[in-house]
Structure 1
Amino acid sequence: MKIICDTREQAPFGFVSYDCEMVAGTLTTGDYSLAGLLDRCAVERKSLDDLLGCLTGEGRERFERELARASGLECFAVVVEASMQDMAEGRYRSRMKPHAALQSVLAFQVRHSCPFIWCGNRAGAEYATYHFLRHYLRNAQERLRIVLRAHGDAT
């Protein structure tokens, strides 16, 4: 499996313990995707403080545009390097109230049909990113096999 990591990613995962190759590239949506499937699947990684920055002001507008682009993909998720409890208890630097932050995230999920995966920490987020992409790839390969079998049966 070849994972493409956006060149603008500030703190890229290494995927050292995972069976994959990581290559830097430019992604229009998300921070991680799969070679050959950039227009179909992506993952956006967020630290808790980064996520809070996406909930207010210019950061919110930019994030809304990102999620709108992502809605055109078959599969997309935001992977958060924290727990929902961390947000609920205000364990971040922003002055935004925890209730308002949680409500924004829930509204984004509904508005953009986009799951936010609360991973507890960075290692959990790396794990979730790898396996999210792996499961998508496995599913895409299976769909391709079905199409090829159907085409083969028709000829």
Structure 2
Amino acid sequence: MRLKGCNPRSIANHRVDAERSADTVGDLIFCPFTIIIDTREQMPFSFLGIDVVKGKTRHPLLVKTTSMTLASGDYSILGHSDKISIERKSLEDLYSTLTHGRERFERELTRLQEMQFSSVIVEVSLETIIQRPPPNTRVVPKSIYSSIIAYQQRFPKTHWLLCDSRRLAEKTAFRILERYWIDNVEKPAKDICRQQRLQKRNGVSENHVNNGEQA
């Protein structure tokens, strides 16, 4: 897995360089990837107040974002928008989508199925969805509950995460993107660098053996 215009070694070194740069601004650490926020997202997450553990200490993380039009979802990673996407729903969004915008949402879920990973993150808990629907809605909460269950089975590759608050939803969205980056960019890049070092070491050893035989 590569970022456009980057080789595995530069990707592997990117996080190291970011952490070194963080030393010049105190405890701040720079996030190694950029989050794409869809231009149509009306209440975007800021991703402020996210932290990371370095050693045994928590440090604030500076997360860079950019606004772009995504084919699917509301959040993704720059260079990987065809691989991972997150759809955000507030309580009001959810009720509106599963009543008046159902057909459009089903087309969205169909596109999300093509992703390596996709998720629908709801800013409220299941209890809130059922017991505290939006004011002035005429929709029966049970129908929303049934739709969520049905969509999880009809579109099994898209994971539904119901959070207790918007803040938890924001943190969850970031951790999902972070985990994708670690597993699909950082680890493969480090493995390639490790193999290159091993091959180089073996090459040096073989040269020593060959030189010894010639002597």
Q: TM-score, normalised by structure 2?
A: 0.66
2:89 is matched with which residue: 46, 69, 72?
46
Percent of pairs with identical residues:
35
The answer on 1:141 being equivalent to 2:173 is no
In 2, Cα distance between equivalents of 1:38 and 1:71: 13
1:68 matched to which residue of 2? Answer: 110
In 1, Cα distance between equivalents of 2:155 and 2:96: 18
SS in 1 for 2:36: strand
5+ residue gaps, structure 2, are 1-32, 51-60, 200-215
The answer on 1:106 being equivalent to 2:149 is yes
2:126 is matched with which residue: 84, 88, 99?
84
Task: Kindly provide the amino acid, as one letter, of the partner of residue 88 in structure 1.
Answer: I
Task: Kindly provide the amino acid, as one letter, of the partner of residue 28 in structure 1.
Answer: A
2:176 is matched with which residue: 100, 108, 132?
132
Once superposed, which parts of structure 1, at least 4 consecutive aligned residues long, lie more than 4 Å away?
Answer: 149-154
Alpha-carbon displacement from aligned partner over 1:15-40 (angstroms, at most 9, x marks no partner): 11133211111101000000110000
2:205 matched to which residue of 1? Answer: none
Task: Kindly provide the amino acid, as one letter, of the partner of residue 9 in structure 1.
Answer: E
Task: Give the number of the structure whose alpha-carbon radius of gyration is greater.
Answer: 2
Please state how far the C-alpha of 1:104 moved relative to its aligned partner.
0.3
In 2, Cα distance between equivalents of 1:29 and 1:16: 24
In 2, Cα distance between equivalents of 1:126 and 1:65: 24
Aligned residues: 153
Please state how far the C-alpha of 1:151 moved relative to its aligned partner.
8.3
Alpha-carbon displacement from aligned partner over 1:7-58 (angstroms, at most 9, x marks no partner): 110001111113321111110100000011000001000001101111123x
- CA RMSD in angstroms comes to 2.0
1:117 matched to which residue of 2? Answer: 161
In 1, Cα distance between equivalents of 2:93 and 2:103: 14
